[in-house]
Amino acid sequence: MNEKLKIFSKGILDVSPLMIPVVPFGIIFGVIGMDLGIGPYMTFGLSVIIFGGASQIVLLQLFSGGASSLVILSSVGAVNSRHFLYGAVLSENLSNLKIIWKIILSYILTDQAFAVSNNYFKKNKRNKVYHYHLLGSGLTCWTIWQISTIVGILLGSVVPEELGLQFAIPITFLALLINDFTKIKHIIVMLVSGLIATFGYLTVPFKAYIIVAALSALVVAALLTNIKINKR
């Protein structure tokens, strides 16, 4: 087997187990997009253009809440800002690639693809074509996400509006936070963020309550981390 194809296939195999929770997430996004009346083309277009589950859900939540375009764009940008960190980590391995490769890999870079490919890069530093691993893992994530979105769109078109599936947005985020309930400092940060977002929904101008809540949570998290470090 060609070495590039072998590494590409390795990326697909490594990321495949992580695709299990992605499928229902993508379906929920598609259903909610239809429930909000965005339409199938716009809903699918968001998955193609943005290609970021959490940021797409945030976009829908703010859109349904009547937030301004500035708040929506800044919130989506803030959620996706973690990719700057991913890029900084991977730049050590991918800096020598041509610009077209960097653009492609940047577009398909997701949390799951970063996790498995970065681990592969560390173990195969001498391999000159190891970026095909990220290509395989990233394209797998992209394909599964788009298919899941389409399934959600098809389901959303037949689900009665009376069911009001917008409740799935907070439930989805709660599911993502389950693992963080085991540490008290995580719970404190989540409570602070949740309370500020709740009270700020009606009081913060321009519907920017999510940004204010997120920044407040970051400050609290930094303080808690600093206290822990000082105790050592």
The pLDDT assigned to 134 comes to 94
Place of tokens 């309930």: 181
Contacts of 217 (CB under 8 A, 6+ apart): 189, 190, 192, 193, 196
Query: Which range among 68-72, 89-93, 112-116, 136-140 has the greatest average pLDDT?
Result: 136-140
High-pLDDT (> 70) share of the chain, %: 87
Q: Report the C-alpha gap between 165 and 124 in whole angstroms.
A: 45
- Between 114 and 77, the more confident residue is 114
**Digit-coded pLDDT (tens) for 111-143:** 889 889 988 988 887 777 889 999 999 999 999
3-state secondary structure of 109: coil
Neighbours of 140 (CB within 10 A): 25
CA angle 95, 98, 102 (to 5 degrees): 65
- What pLDDT shows up at residue 186? 79
Give the model's confidence band at 6: pLDDT under 50 very low, under 70 low, under 90 confident, else very high: very high
Contact 67, 204 (CB under 8 A): no
What are 19's two structure tokens?
């695709």
**Angle subtended by helix axes 3-15 and 111-123, to nearest 10:** 130
pLDDT in tens, 173-225: 665 566 667 778 878 888 888 898 888 878 887 667 777 887 888 788 888 87
Residue 66: which pLDDT band, with cuts at 50, 70 and 90? confident
- Name the average pLDDT for the chain: 82
- Residues 46, 39: Cα–Cα separation, whole Å: 11
pLDDT at 163 over 60: no
Q: Which of 67-81, 153-167, 194-208 is least confident?
A: 153-167
Percentage of the chain modeled with pLDDT above 90: 24
Residue with tokens 């979105």: 149
Give Rg (Cα) of the chain.
Answer: 20
Give the integer Cα–Cα distance in Å for 176 and 229. 27
Burial of 221 (C-beta count, 10 Å sphere; 0-12/13-18/19+): middle
